Structure 1
Amino acid sequence: MVEELPVASVRLVGVLPHLDRPFEYAVTPATATAGAGMRVRVRFSGKDTEGIVLGRHAAPTTDRALAPLHRLVSEDVVVPPAMMRVCEEVAERSAGTVGDVLRLALPPRHARAEKADRAAEAKEADAMDAIEPAEEAEAEAGPDADASSTTGRPGDRYPGLAALLSRAGSPEGPVPRASLTLDAVDTWTEVAADAICDLGEEQGALVVAPDRRDVMRLSRVLTARGIAHEILAGSEGPEKRYRTFRRILRGATRVVLGNRSAAFAPVANLALAICWDEADDLLEEPRAPYPHTRTVLQCRSAEERCALLFLAASESVTLRALADHGYLARLEPVPGPVTAVRPRIVAMDEYLREREGPSGRSRLPQEAMRVIRRGLERGPVLVQVPRSGYVPAIACTFCHTRAQCPHCSAPLSLSGRNGPLHCRVCGRREDGYRCPECDRTQVRAMVVGSTRTAEELHRAFPDTPLKVAGGAHGALEDDAIPERAIIVATPGAEPAPPGRYAACLLLDADALLGRAAFDADVEAVRRWRGAISLVRSADDGGEVLVVGTSTLPAIRDLVAHRSSFFLDRVLADRQELDLPPFSRVAEIVGEREACRSFLETAELPDGVDVFGPVDLEGPELIDRSRAVVRLEPSRSRELADALRAGVAARSARKAKGSLRVRLDPPDVF
C-alpha cells in the first residue's frame, strides 16, 4: 500500500490564513493505513500539528523531499469527502479558512471514549448476530409498530410537509427546501417528531435548535414515541461528547439532536435537516470564521441532497427573502377557525386606555391586572418583560419613531447624557436632527428595567406563587411551574409548562421595539410570538394582552392572523435603504492602524460602500476601530473572496495588530 500510494495530501487544522491549503507528506509503514478523512499528526513549522488526510497519491507534485506523516491518530474516518466539501464551501461563504471550519466541525479526540465505544460496538455486533430471524421479525411487529399512526398529528395540518418528506433523500430532481411558520397551537417539537417518524427506516435526520432546553424538549417527545436518538451538545464533557460523536459516525443511530455545533454532525444517510428558530442569535457562531447555522445546513443540503426544513413561530426576514427568490417553499397550514389555532390577542388601544382612565397610561394598567386574575383562575400566567442591558435607542419624544442616521440608516446614539447625536457605524454627527414622521426635534433615550415588575406583581398578588426566569435569576425548568402561578420572564427565557399558559402579558412593548438595532421590530415580533406560542388557544380560554402603542406595525402584526403586511413593509424599507438582505455586509474590527491598513491594502470589489473606520467607545475598546463594507448580494462571492485574500495577505506579511473580519454580522447596524 505504501509503495503504490506513498504520498498523502493533508489539510491542516487551525493554521494561519495564508497557509490554508493542502500539503503533501510521505506515508510511512507505521501510517500505511492512513486514508481520506482520517486524523493524522504532522510536523509543520517545527510544531506537532493536527491534519485531515484528503487522499493518497502515487507521486508528489513537487521535487522537494516530503516530510513523513508523524502519526496516524485514529483509523476512524472523521471527515468523509462530502463533509470536507461542506467545510470548504462554508469557509468560502464566510471568508474564512477551511482549517478553522474543521476546528468547529470536529470535537477533540478522546482516547478513552474511543476505546470504550469500540468495545460497545463489538458487543452490539455480537448481540445482532445472536438474534434469530424469527425474533427479529417479532421485534419489528412489536407494540411500537403502530407508533407512527398519523391520527390527529400536528404535522398533518401542513399538507406541504408530506410532499417535502416524500422527496427527502431522493437522488434525483431538485432538493426540497421549505420554511414553515407554525400556528400558536402547534408545538414545534411535535411537528419535528412527526416529520422524523415519516422518514424511511434507513434515512437519517438532524435537528438543530438554539437552546439546550429546546433540544431536551424534543428529546422527551422522541423518547415518548420510542424513537432512538443521540444528543450532540457543546455543554457535554469532552469524553461524553466524543463518544456520542463516534456513535453518530458509525451509524449507531439515525436521528441526531443538538445545538449550533451539531450542524456538522456526521449523520449517516442524511435525508432531512431541521432548524428551529433560525433567527435566534444563539445560532450565530462566535468563533472564526463565524458561520451561521443556516449557512452550514444550506451547504449540507446542497452537497448531501438532504431536505431542509426551517421551523419557526415567526417568519424571519432572511427566510422570507429566500422564499421570495425561490430557494425555499413556504408551507401553509390547512385553514381553520382562528380561535382554534391561537389565543385571543388584544393590544392596549386608545379605547382601552381611555376606558381605564389615568391607569390606562401606566405601565401596568388595570386591564393587565384583570387579564392576570382571569388567567390565574385557569392556570399559570406568563408576564414577559424586556431584557435589561439592551443598548438604549434614541426616539422622538412625540411619536416614538426611532432616530436613524440619514447617511447609512443605522440607529443614532447619544454622546453622554446630553451630548450630540452621532452614528456608531459611519461616524456622522447629527446636530440638526428632525423626526421624519412628525418633524419634531426633541428625542429621548428609551431605557428599560425589569426587576420592578416582579415586585409590583408580588404586591398586587401576595398569595400567588411568583417565579422569575432569565437574567440573573437563571433558567426555570418547565416542570417547576406551579399550577396557578405568575411567571415573569425575559424574552427567550420563558419556561414551557406541559398544559401551556392560561394568559400572557407582554409588557413594555414600545421599549422592546426601541432597541438600538436596525432589526429591533422584527426581533421584537419574534420574541413576542415565541411567548404567544406557549399560550392556550382561544377556544381553551387563552388570552394575550400587549401593553404598547397599538398603532405600531409590529404590534398590529401580532393582532392580525397570518398577515404578511408587516414583513412586506420591512422588506420594502430595507430595499429602499440598501440594508440586508438586499446587501451583503462585512464588518472589520481591530486596532485602529490595523483596520485602516486593511482597508487600504485589500483589493475590494468595485462599487463597494465603505463606512468608517470609526473609533469604538468603551474603556476596553481604546485604540480599536470598526469599519463596515457593503455590496449587492449578487456579488457576494466577490466580496467574500476579496476579504479572504486580504486576510491571507495580511497574515503572510505578518502585519501588526489584531483584526477580525465577519460577513453578515447580526449586529452590524
Structure 2
Amino acid sequence: MSGDDRQGEGPDGGGPEQLALIRESVRQAKVPRAKPRTWRGAALAGELPVARVVVNKGVLHLDQFFDYAVPEELDEAARPGVRVRVRFGAGAHRVRGGRREGGRLIDGFVVERRAESDYSGPLAALAGVVSPEPVLGAELLGLARAVADRYAGSLADVLQLAVPPRNARAEAKPSPEPLPPPDPPEAGTWERYVNGPAFLGALASGGAPRAVWTALPGPHWAAELARAVAATLASGRGALVVVPDGRAAARVDTALTELLGDGRHALLTADAGPEKRYREWLAVRRGSVRAVVGTRAAMFAPVRDLGLVVIWDDGDSSHSEPHAPQPHAREVLLLRAAHAACAFLVGGTGCTVEAAQLVATGWALPLAASRETVRAAAPLVRTIGDGELARDGAARAARLPSLAWQAVRDGLRSGPVLVQVPRRGYVPRLACERCRTPARCGQCAGPLEAPREGELWCGWCGREESGRWHCAECGGFRLRAQIVGARRTAEELGRAFPAVPVRTSGRDHVLDSVPGRPALVVSTPGAEPVAEGGYAAALLLDGWAMLGRPDLRAGEEALRRWTHAGSLVRGQSEGGVVVVVAEPTLRPVQALVRWDPVGHARRELSERAELGFPPVSRMAAVTGPVDAVAPFLASAELPPDAEVLGPVPLPVAPPLGDGARARARRPGDPPPGEPWERALVRVPPGSGAALAAALKAARAGWGARGARGARGARGAQGSGGSAEPTADVAAVRVRIDPPDIG
C-alpha cells in the first residue's frame, strides 16, 4: 500500500456528480421525517426517540445503519455503543427509504440517538438492550468503517472482529482504578541503536515518531518493546503492541511486568479464555488500563488516548486475519496511526517489503544498529551448496553434511543446538526412486506420505496404500523421500549422536523454552523454543524446500524464518554458528550471510516496482466458480487505470472421502471437488480506494440480486414458474491485498 493510499483515496468529484448530489439532497429535504411518539400503543422515549443501529448482518447490500424507535422503558439503557436486540425486517427500514427484510431477532449496536428519522415510514422498536455496557465508541466505529472500506467488506464483519463476545460475569466485575503515569524509562539496550535513545525520548515527550526497527539478534527485543511502551505511558498516553503468537505475547507481558509492575497493561490472547479476555478488554475500554499486548485480534483494542502502535514481525502469516474481510494487522495499525496521529513502530529481526516501502516513501524512518554492532551480535553464518553436497559422502549417506556434523559436534560441547526442518512429520513427500516422479494415490491422485515408518497414506483422502505401490511412469517399486520431516530428522540425529538428548517442537507440541544444557532441538519454522543463554549452533536444513515455493514472497519468507532462528543463536563473539543448507549464490542466502534483511527487502522492492507488483501497486484477488469471475468483473465499474490479470484456473481441492483425514482448509478456499478460477485486478498508487469501492459495489449488487432470485424461486415453486439463477456469480469472493499471488 502506498503512502497516498493511507491518506485517503477516492475519485475526485466533477460538476455533474456535484449537481446530482444537490438534487438528491433537495429531494430528501421534501420527504417528511417521522417523529414517532408511540409504537403499538407503547410510549416511546420523550427525547431522542430514534436509535440508529448497525445490525449484525454482514451481507454487503445491507451494509448501512437502520433506524429503530426507542421504547420509553429502554430510554436510559439504550445509549450509544450498547448491544441491542432488534427485529430485522417486519417494520425495520433502511435509513433512506428501504424495504422490509425478514423478521427475526438479531444483534446490533446503537451508534447514535436522534430526535427524528430520515425515513418517512413507521419504525420498528428496539426489542431489548442486551447489556447497558457501552462497548462501541465513536473512535472504534470510525476505525471499523475505515477497515471495511479499505478491504471491500461490511461494517458488521469488522465489528465481529473488533468487539469480543459478551461475558456477563466479566461485565459484573468492576475494573481497577487507573494508575498514574510511570516515570520515563532508561534507554537500556536501546543504546545499541543509532537513534534508539532519541526514539524513546520522543515517545516520552508526547511525540509521534514513525520507525521501521530492525532488531538485533538476541533475547532483548521484548524488553526493548516494554521500554517503548513505558515511555509512551510516561507521556500520559496509551500504547498497543500486536505480536504474531501467544509465546511472543507472553515474553512481552513478562518484560512489561518486570519493568512497570502489575496493573499497567492488559494481555489479550485466545489462551486466556473468554471471561478473562473480555474482562481485560473491558478494563481497556473503561480506561483502567492504557497499554495492551496481544495477538492479531488486539489490533482493534479500544486504547484510550492512543500514543503508540507497534507490530512485531509483520511478515508472519498469523497477522493476516482469515475471516472476512481478512484485514492485515499491519494495515489496521497504519490506519490507526493515521487517524489518531500517534507513533508507529514496525519491528522484527527481518524486514518485509512493505516495511521497506514505508522508509522509501519517507513515511517512516529506519531504526537500526551500526554494521559493527550487527556483526558482533549476529552469529557466524556458513553455507553448504549443491556442489558441496554432491562431493560430501556423509551428506549422501546420512543427509548430514560434514560441515554441519562438525558444527553440531562443536556446539554440543557448550550448549544446545537448534535444527530447523521445513516440514513436520516423518516423510511428508515421496517420489519414485528411479525417475523421481511424485508418488500419487491410486484413488484421488493425491500425494503419498509416510507419517510413520512402515506406513503409506494419501495426504488428501487419507486412504492407506495397502497394495504394493508402483510408479505409473516407469513401473518402479522403490520410493525415496523428496522432503524429510522433523520426526525422521530427529531419529537420524539421535542415531548420529546417541549420547545426546533429542527434543522436537512443532505444530502438535510447541516448546516455549529449553535449558542451556547440551541437547539437539529439532523444530519446524516458527516453533523454535528459546534456549537459556542462546543456542551454541543452528542447522537450517533443506533450504531449497522454502526457496522453491511458487510464491512471490518465497525468498522473503525463507530469509525471515532463517533470521528468526539465527537470532536465537549466540553472537559471533561468543562462538555462535549457523549452517544453512542452500545454494550460496541465491540472494536470500547471501542476505543471511551478511545479516542484511533490510538490503534484501530494498532490492525486492525495486524489482516489484519494475514489475508493478504489491506493495508498489494495490491488488485484489477475485475467485469464484468457473465462468462466474469474468461476468462479475464485467459488471464492476473498475477504475480506468485498473488492469485485470486472468482469470486462471485454481487447483481443484480434493473431495473428502468417507472416513478420510480431513485436509486443513482455510476460509476462502474453493469447495472440495469444484473447479474454481481466480483473476487479479491491479491498480497504481492512489486508486486503491476506488478499486475496493467498485468491487464492494459489484458484490453488493450481485448479493441483492441473489436474494431477490432466492425469494423469486421460492415463489415460483408454489406457482409452477422458474427464476434466473444468480448463485454462481454471487459466490464470487474478493480479497484486497492477497498475501499469496504466486
The alignment's TM-score, normalised by the length of structure 1, stands at 0.83
2:733 counterpart of 1:660: yes
2:74 counterpart of 1:31: yes
Give the C-alpha shift of residue 592 in structure 1.
Answer: 2.9
- Deviations along 1:97-130, whole A, 9 cap, x unmatched? 1111001101111112211x23xx4xx56xx9xx
**Whole-Å Cα distance in 2 between the matches of residues 239 and 337 of structure 1?**
45
Which residue pairs with 1:194 in the alignment?
Answer: 227
Task: Structure 1: state its 5+ residue gaps.
Answer: 129-135, 395-414, 418-444
2:66 counterpart of 1:15: no
- Deviations along 1:355-380, whole A, 9 cap, x unmatched? x7534677311111111111111111
Which residue pairs with 1:528 in the alignment?
Answer: 562
**Whole-Å Cα distance in 1 between the matches of residues 163 and 699 of structure 2?**
24
2:702 counterpart of 1:650: yes
2:704 counterpart of 1:632: no
Opposite residue 225 of structure 2, the aligned amino acid is: A
2:118 counterpart of 1:83: no
Which residue pairs with 1:61 in the alignment?
Answer: 118
Cα distance 1:23–1:147, how it changes in 2: closer, same or farther (>3 A)?
closer
Opposite residue 681 of structure 2, the aligned amino acid is: R
Secondary structure at the residue paired with 2:372? coil
Give the C-alpha shift of residue 589 in structure 1.
Answer: 2.4
Give the C-alpha shift of residue 337 in structure 1.
Answer: 4.3
2:41 counterpart of 1:41: no
Opposite residue 705 of structure 2, the aligned amino acid is: R
Give the C-alpha shift of residue 498 in structure 1.
Answer: 2.8
Opposite residue 209 of structure 1, the aligned amino acid is: V
2:123 counterpart of 1:52: no
Secondary structure at the residue paired with 2:161? helix
**Whole-Å Cα distance in 2 between the matches of residues 146 and 22 of structure 1?**
44
Cα distance 1:164–1:643, how it changes in 2: closer, same or farther (>3 A)?
farther
Corresponding pairs, count: 596
Give the C-alpha shift of residue 81 in structure 1.
Answer: 0.7
- Deviations along 1:627-661, whole A, 9 cap, x unmatched? 22222332111111111101111111113143321
Secondary structure at the residue paired with 1:51? strand
Which residue pairs with 1:110 in the alignment?
Answer: 167
Secondary structure at the residue paired with 1:154? helix
Pairwise CA RMSD: 3.0
Asked if 1 retains the 8 angstrom alpha-carbon contact of 2:312 and 2:346, the reply is yes
**Whole-Å Cα distance in 2 between the matches of residues 314 and 361 of structure 1?**
33
Opposite residue 572 of structure 1, the aligned amino acid is: S
Give the C-alpha shift of residue 36 in structure 1.
Answer: 2.4
Which residue pairs with 1:614 in the alignment?
Answer: 649
- Deviations along 1:41-63, whole A, 9 cap, x unmatched? 21113121222222122221121
2:414 to 360, 373, 378: 378
Percent sequence identity over matched residues?
39
**Whole-Å Cα distance in 2 between the matches of residues 664 and 465 of structure 1?**
45
Asked if 1 retains the 8 angstrom alpha-carbon contact of 2:204 and 2:231, the reply is no
Secondary structure at the residue paired with 1:566? helix
2:607 to 573, 578, 599: 573
Which residue pairs with 1:438 in the alignment?
Answer: none
Opposite residue 663 of structure 1, the aligned amino acid is: I
Which residue pairs with 2:322 in the alignment?
Answer: 286
Asked if 2 retains the 8 angstrom alpha-carbon contact of 1:155 and 1:195, the reply is no
Give the C-alpha shift of residue 322 in structure 1.
Answer: 2.1
Secondary structure at the residue paired with 1:589? strand
Cα distance 1:446–1:553, how it changes in 2: closer, same or farther (>3 A)?
farther
**Whole-Å Cα distance in 2 between the matches of residues 569 and 591 of structure 1?**
37
2:388 counterpart of 1:315: no
2:385 counterpart of 1:341: no
Opposite residue 546 of structure 1, the aligned amino acid is: V
Opposite residue 697 of structure 2, the aligned amino acid is: A
Give the C-alpha shift of residue 596 in structure 1.
Answer: 4.2
- Deviations along 1:192-223, whole A, 9 cap, x unmatched? 01212222343211111111111111112222
Asked if 1 retains the 8 angstrom alpha-carbon contact of 2:245 and 2:318, the reply is yes
Give the C-alpha shift of residue 290 in structure 1.
Answer: 0.4
Secondary structure at the residue paired with 1:183? coil
Which residue pairs with 1:233 in the alignment?
Answer: 269
Cα distance 1:85–1:40, how it changes in 2: closer, same or farther (>3 A)?
same
Secondary structure at the residue paired with 1:619? coil
**Whole-Å Cα distance in 1 between the matches of residues 337 and 45 of structure 2?**
36
Opposite residue 188 of structure 1, the aligned amino acid is: W
Asked if 2 retains the 8 angstrom alpha-carbon contact of 1:169 and 1:307, the reply is no
Opposite residue 86 of structure 2, the aligned amino acid is: V
Cα distance 1:282–1:56, how it changes in 2: closer, same or farther (>3 A)?
same
Give the C-alpha shift of residue 481 in structure 1.
Answer: 3.9
2:525 counterpart of 1:454: no
Which residue pairs with 2:596 in the alignment?
Answer: 562
Farther off after superposition, 92-101 or 380-389 = 380-389
Which residue pairs with 2:212 in the alignment?
Answer: 179
Opposite residue 632 of structure 1, the aligned amino acid is: V
Secondary structure at the residue paired with 1:531? helix
- Deviations along 1:272-304, whole A, 9 cap, x unmatched? 111110010011100000000111111111122
2:541 to 504, 507, 518: 507
Which residue pairs with 2:249 in the alignment?
Answer: 215
The alignment's TM-score, normalised by the length of structure 2, stands at 0.75
